[in-house]
Amino acid sequence: MSSTSSSDARSWFKSSHSGGNTTECVEAAHLGEATAIRDSKATEEGSLLFRPGAWSSFVSALQDGRLR
């Protein structure tokens, strides 16, 4: 995983699990060889990049309730 600048042009979308006015707001952008995530309330802080295998494992763990 590595960090990238928030100024990169990407198609960011808000997570379906992000609340309306809560502090838990995550945005994601699917890239060719990675998925980027960032805090939508602190976009200037950059983002994290995950390779496809790591992202799939993370999402599966969330869906299976292994992470809370």
Compute the chain's Rg from CA coordinates: 12
- pLDDT of residue 35 exceeding 50, the answer is yes
2 and 24 Cβ atoms separated by less than 8 Å: no
More confident residue, 3 or 39: 39
10 and 29 Cβ atoms separated by less than 8 Å: yes
Q: Work out the average pLDDT over 20-35.
A: 81
* Interatomic CA distance for residues 60 and 9, integer angstroms: 28
pTM above 0.85, yes or no: no
DSSP 68: -
pLDDT (0 to 100) of residue 43: 87
What is the pLDDT confidence band of residue 20, given thresholds at 50, 70 and 90?
Answer: low
